[in-house]
Chain A
């Protein structure tokens, strides 16, 4: 049925045959991966990927704030370290190496300590909700660690108050 339509639209048998051969060629190229040592097609992205990316970004943001405002070092370092621990846990659950952070990509921290702490506090509240949502949607195996991450972020809000 489709062949007739294409022919009626001006497709020739020859062009159809070419297209079919091209299709076979593509199939054969894709199949080569099975026999070569090419990396397999990446699996569907893990639902925790956005949480991992957000966690690394948040830790980088603490690094940037500490660099800009050294007087906050004592207060912020344990929180920054907690986010690094969370990133390690998330990467372990996803089953991939921990991506490297990119502090250069982060936006500059506010010049004023009070404003910087307030901004981090807001970020922690958003991050807490993201971790809580992930916990509620997760498998039984993942839920406890995700719950700990969400609870940890609630405690960060507390120490940034």
Chain B
């Protein structure tokens, strides 16, 4: 049994979170939030397609997801973006151990993309260092 349904739930939550974060960002940061949201939507759609061909049921998106802290301005929106990428990376990292072949490759691509976006957000937010030694384990 793979963790792909869990990954789908995480992608649903990331898409919701970026909707909130994007509303509090401007300029290049808002563009980055929109691009990240689009990337998570693409991953979600790929997962939905994949799960449609299996007996595993795809969890639907919830109307609302709890935020880890209040998001009221640009800095808190960037913190949320970092949080979303770290949390989604962690789910995909676990999925690597329950998949093989193309599904593992998809999980690795997803983990890598989340880690790179988290690093970009840390750079944008002035978090130093912008990298973590083992993305997905924090």
Chain A positions within 8 Å of B, measured between CB atoms, are 78-79, 81-82, 85-86, 89, 132, 135-136, 140-141, 143-152, 154-156, 158-159
One of B18-26, B61-69, B114-122 contacting the partner: B114-122
The answer on a CB contact under 8 Å between A148 and B119 is no
The answer on a CB contact under 8 Å between A144 and B94 is yes
Q: Which residue of B lies closest to A78 (CB)?
A: B129
Chain A residues, Cβ within 8 Å of B100: 140
Q: How far is the CB of B81 from chain A (nearest CB, A)?
A: 15
Chain A to chain B contacts (Cβ below 8 Å), 15 pairs? A82-B131, A85-B133, A136-B108, A140-B97, A143-B104, A148-B135, A148-B136, A151-B89, A151-B108, A151-B112, A151-B136, A152-B131, A152-B133, A154-B116, A155-B130
Chain B positions within 8 Å of A, measured between CB atoms, are 89, 92-94, 96-98, 100, 104-105, 107-108, 111-112, 114-116, 118-120, 123, 129-137
Query: Of B111, B116, B118, which contacts A148 at CB under 8 A?
Result: B111
Chain B residues, Cβ within 8 Å of A81: 133
Q: How many A-B residue pairs have CB under 8 A?
A: 93
Q: How far is the CB of A43 from chain B (nearest CB, A)?
A: 24
Docked complex Cα distance between A130 and B100 (Å): 18
Docked complex Cα distance between A151 and B90 (Å): 12
Query: Of A144, A155, A158, which contacts B93 at CB under 8 A?
Result: A144
Known: A78-B131, A81-B133, A85-B133. A155 touches B119 (CB 8 A): yes
Docked complex Cα distance between A136 and B107 (Å): 10
The answer on a CB contact under 8 Å between A152 and B104 is no
Docked complex Cα distance between A30 and B102 (Å): 46
Q: How far is the CB of A72 from chain B (nearest CB, A)?
A: 14
